[in-house]
Amino acid sequence: MNKGINLISTEARKIAKEQKVKGKVKTASFAFVAFFIFVASLTIGFLVFLNQKYKSNDKKIIALENQIKSLEKNESYLVTITDRVKHAKSVLDDRKTYSKTIEDLERIYVNELEITGLDFGAGGDMKIEGRCLNLTCLTELNNKIEEIKAEKEYQEILYNTVSRSTSGSYNVNLTFKK
């Protein structure tokens, strides 16, 4: 038995229940749509941000490429200069330094010595052909050569030939070997 009186019919209860459910579904739908719009906005915003970064990086890349292209001419000059300097250095490295040999030549020079031939060889070697006009000149030349021998800068100093001509002068051929 029913203890209470139910004035609302079952039909009306169903309608009220459906209305409650419809309200909850409507609220859930709005929440879902709002969430979807939020996520979509976030995604679109992130894509726009990335696109701007990409364009910014693209502009930087183009600027750097233009800067590099503007420096290509300088680079070609520098490469050319570097090659020329390397070539000049190799030529200078291959060149013999004769300054010490020339100093020794100046040291052995005496009055009345006529140098008729001079040859600089590899490694600082030197050959001298000359003529001393008298015995005093030949003696002074020999004394100076003995001084250089004493310094032991050369392995060997040779008198290849020493001869006297009919005019009284002395022909001398010397070799200085380092």
Query: What's the pLDDT score for residue 34?
Result: 94
110 and 42 together in one domain: no
C-alpha span between 83 and 149 (Å, rounded): 43
Inside any domain, residue 2: no
Spell out a b/e string for 13-43, using b for 16 or more CB atoms within 10 Å of the CB, else e: eeeeeeeeeeeeeeeeeeeeeeeeeeeeeee
Query: What's the pLDDT score for residue 157?
Result: 82
C-alpha span between 110 and 137 (Å, rounded): 7
Query: What's the pLDDT score for residue 18?
Result: 86
Query: What's the pLDDT score for residue 96?
Result: 60
Query: What's the pLDDT score for residue 69?
Result: 86
116 and 158 together in one domain: yes
Query: What's the pLDDT score for residue 43?
Result: 94
* H helices, E strands: number in the chain: 3, 4
Model pTM? 0.46
* Domain assignment of residue 77, given as a range: 9-95
Query: What's the pLDDT score for residue 95?
Result: 63
Residue 169, phi then psi, degrees to nearest 5: -85, 165
Query: What's the pLDDT score for residue 90?
Result: 78
CB 151 within 8 A of CB 109: no
106 and 144 together in one domain: yes
C-alpha span between 95 and 84 (Å, rounded): 16
Inside any domain, residue 14: yes
Mean pLDDT by 10 residues, the chain (178 residues): 62 83 90 94 93 89 88 85 86 67 78 84 80 87 86 82 86 86
132 and 168 together in one domain: yes
CB 160 within 8 A of CB 154: no
Query: What's the pLDDT score for residue 6?
Result: 59
CB 176 within 8 A of CB 154: yes
Query: What's the pLDDT score for residue 147?
Result: 86
Query: What's the pLDDT score for residue 164?
Result: 86
Domain boundary among the residues 95, 115, 144 is at 95
Query: What's the pLDDT score for residue 120?
Result: 79
Domain boundary among the residues 54, 70, 95 is at 95
C-alpha span between 153 and 100 (Å, rounded): 10
15 and 82 together in one domain: yes
Q: In Å, what is the CA distance from 82 to each residue of 67, 78, 86?
A: 22, 6, 6
Query: What's the pLDDT score for residue 32?
Result: 93
Query: What's the pLDDT score for residue 30?
Result: 92
